Structure 1
Amino acid sequence: MTDSSGITIPGSISSIEKVTLGGVEQYIIVRGEDSTKPVMLFLHGGPGSPEFVFISKGNPDLEKNFVMVYWEQRGAGMSYSNKIKTESMTVPQLISDTRELTLVLKQRFNQEKIFLMGHSWGSFLGILTSHKFPELYHAYFGIGQVCAQYWGERVSFEWVKEQAIIRNDKKGLKKLTSMTFPDTLATIDPWISFIMNEREYVSRYGGGVTREMTSLWPYIKMILAAKEYTLSDKFKYMAGSMFSLKHLWLDVVNTNLHSEIDSMQIPVYIFNGIFDYQTPYVVAKDFFNQLNAPEKDFFTFDNSAHSPIVEEADKFNTIVLDITKKF
């Protein structure tokens, strides 16, 4: 890594690396100003939407305090390939990949345990992995925690319709009221159609990726402008996003972690913005309240939607650094 003057920071690390997980070549981006700092494995959202550019640019201070490992998961971003077997795109396989990558990182950085952080879909994958393999992690950090997404989608849909009325958005209300909310037996196509249309209004009304990002264009522009990605990588990003959503979404939306995880063996810390209507605050808080853990805390971000890690980066970093100093 280089400082603001372009001079290489002694002891830093900045690399894009290929790893084989579950027999499939995948990529990690490793960045940290001090390679002896604790390792933080970051699990991106989506499914299928790597967040290296978003997090690294939006919260660069994380790389001062940790060796940040941004993993582009099976079927996503640089790890996308049309040769990936669709039957391997399952939650159990992604959990296995996460465990395998964790073992690689533990050995490479000579650390007995690492920290695990997940955002959105990554929080679903993260809490399932750390629940199954608690011995690998110091603690788990969930941002925009996914836990009962069918309920979350219902809350989100009611909110956007309410916002359309409040904002006197007659055109939006007409579009929203014409939409059909998928039932519990819905296949993937109705869900993708619903998500693509409903999320447009979640973003427009300030409940999306960030409160300020009222469409996905700023996010897409970040990907297209990223120097770390080749042109091929940028095409892979778009293809992998839909590929992953198509094969993983039903598992996410049909799983209720309230009934699957009632206790954790490691500390759990949840971060949610009150304006988050992609993974609504009320759903995450309810899951947290019923969860038993050796230590747990829920942090409310009053000025954030789905991404307090970027929207209120200073507050987020202060909390995370204070927690990790305990280990």
Structure 2
Amino acid sequence: MLDTVLVATAVATAVAATPVALLLGHRRIRQAANARLMRITAPDGVDEQEFVRIGGIEQWISIRGEDLANPVILEIHGGPGASNAIYGPRTRAWEKHFTIVRWDMRGTGKTLGRSGADHQGELGFARMYQDAVEVTDFVRARLGVDRVVLVANSFGSAFGLRLARQYPDRYCAYVGTDQKIHDADGDDADHLALLARLRAAGKRKELAAVGAIDRDRRTWTAEQYGTYAKIAATTDPLTFSTMKSVVMKSLWFSPLHSLSELGTLGKGMKLSEQILPDTAGFDDRADGTCFELPFFVFQGDQDVLNPTDRARCFLDDVQAPVKEFALIRDAGHFASFRHPDQFLHLMLTKVRPVVATAGLHAAGR
């Protein structure tokens, strides 16, 4: 949701401030450069994008990497509705060491564009959770692996925790980043912190808007989630800076997306807001802190949207064969995309050694 509001805000601001011809010309040049950067020519590499029938509709899946012998990462994107496909050029180095699978969930990006808003089926957490299981099994069969590394960011971590807990036979490790911890709204520290930040900054209008929203998120409408997310993110300097310098630029210069598809991405972000109330009563600790697979959280050291301390405290309670918490420095939300080099270093030094052989045993490999 935080991803949703800010992408739309940042893009609208940029477009309004720049002459159209100059904007489009610069975009074409940068898109071409990014397309060259993303070429995979390695003999054992893979670069596939296709629509796969998942949960009764066609959903877009990308599989990219320079060596099919590398461990496979399945990403679960955030938002809801915020496709990770736009970050391909920023995360190109990841594909030297991992095969990266990106999926536009129903109601998102290319999946939404394929059949339109009226043909997305049920846009609810339970249906999309089952989609994630089906995507996992498709990837395992397509790439001939027993298990994959599950990497979930932001809202996607609501799916990720539950997948990791329920299906350790399908995943060889869980990695959460921008990790969201649901607690059935038993902790309103971030709400109080936002009010204090607004008060200190003299943001009277925003303070009144947040103050009018009940602290119990279980009572929130999708619109209230949107209001809160926009204010929380735009009044945090580091988050808003990352939105402008990383998220908006990745969106605008993506070689995988036409101008019309940028519009579809925005529509998907708005459409997907309806999923949020489904998760309001989630309680991650009550659901269980025992995981039968290696468990990692790599969080921005200054994330005020999904607070770093809350993610760390949750991991303290986790029981897993291996577990580790690490900070991504000079980062708030969107930490792995703000500093893809730091994230890759953590994946190579902490995760890959643990899964060096796991998940690579299958016929034909």
Tell whether the structures are fold-level matches, with TM greater than 0.5: yes
- Partner amino acid for 2:224? P
- Post-superposition CA distance 1:128-178 (Å, at most 9, x none): 112111100101100011122665994333333433455xx32x2442244
- Give me the whole-angstrom Cα distance separating, in 1, the residues matched to 2:40 and 2:208: 56
**Selected match of 2:64 from 20, 31, 34:** 31
**Contact 1:34/1:64 (<8 A) preserved:** yes
The two structures have a TM-score, normalised by structure 1, of 0.87
- Partner amino acid for 1:117? V
- 2:64 is equivalent to residue 64 of structure 1: no
- Partner amino acid for 2:149? F
**Matched length:** 315
Q: Which has the higher contact order (CA 8 A, sep 6+)?
A: 2
In 2 relative to 1, CA 8–151 (structure 1 residues): closer, same or farther, beyond 3 Å?
Answer: same
- Give me the whole-angstrom Cα distance separating, in 1, the residues matched to 2:135 and 2:333: 26
1:127 maps to which residue?
161
1:219 maps to which residue?
247
Structure 1 position 251, deviation (Å): 2.1
What SS is found at the alignment partner of 2:235?
A: helix
The CA RMSD over aligned residues, in Å, is 2.6
- 2:78 is equivalent to residue 45 of structure 1: yes
- Give me the whole-angstrom Cα distance separating, in 1, the residues matched to 2:187 and 2:111: 28
**Selected match of 1:251 from 264, 278, 281:** 278
- 2:259 is equivalent to residue 237 of structure 1: no
Moved over 6 A (4+): none
- Give me the whole-angstrom Cα distance separating, in 1, the residues matched to 2:354 and 2:120: 42
**Contact 1:3/1:9 (<8 A) preserved:** no
In 2 relative to 1, CA 281–11 (structure 1 residues): closer, same or farther, beyond 3 Å?
Answer: same
Query: Structure 1 stretches of 5 or more lacking a match?
Result: none
In 2 relative to 1, CA 217–177 (structure 1 residues): closer, same or farther, beyond 3 Å?
Answer: farther
- Partner amino acid for 1:144? D
**Selected match of 1:175 from 186, 193, 206:** 206
- Partner amino acid for 1:43? I
Structure 1 position 260, deviation (Å): 1.1
Determine what percentage of the aligned residue pairs are the same residue: 23
- Partner amino acid for 2:154? S
- Post-superposition CA distance 1:226-272 (Å, at most 9, x none): 221133322221111111122x1112333121111221111110111
Query: Structure 2 stretches of 5 or more lacking a match?
Result: 1-33, 356-365
What SS is found at the alignment partner of 1:69?
A: strand
In 2 relative to 1, CA 222–292 (structure 1 residues): closer, same or farther, beyond 3 Å?
Answer: same
- Post-superposition CA distance 1:107-131 (Å, at most 9, x none): 1111111111000011111111121
Structure 1 window deviating more from structure 2 (301-310 vs 260-269): it is 301-310
- 2:313 is equivalent to residue 286 of structure 1: yes
Within a 5 Å distance, the mapping from 1:109-120 to structure 2 comes to 109-120=143-154
Structure 1 position 8, deviation (Å): 2.8
What SS is found at the alignment partner of 1:57?
A: coil
The two structures have a TM-score, normalised by structure 2, of 0.78
- 2:117 is equivalent to residue 82 of structure 1: yes
What SS is found at the alignment partner of 1:134?
A: coil
- Give me the whole-angstrom Cα distance separating, in 1, the residues matched to 2:249 and 2:347: 29
Structure 1 position 274, deviation (Å): 2.2
**Contact 1:152/1:279 (<8 A) preserved:** no
- 2:350 is equivalent to residue 316 of structure 1: no
2:16 maps to which residue?
none
**Selected match of 2:323 from 286, 290, 296:** 296
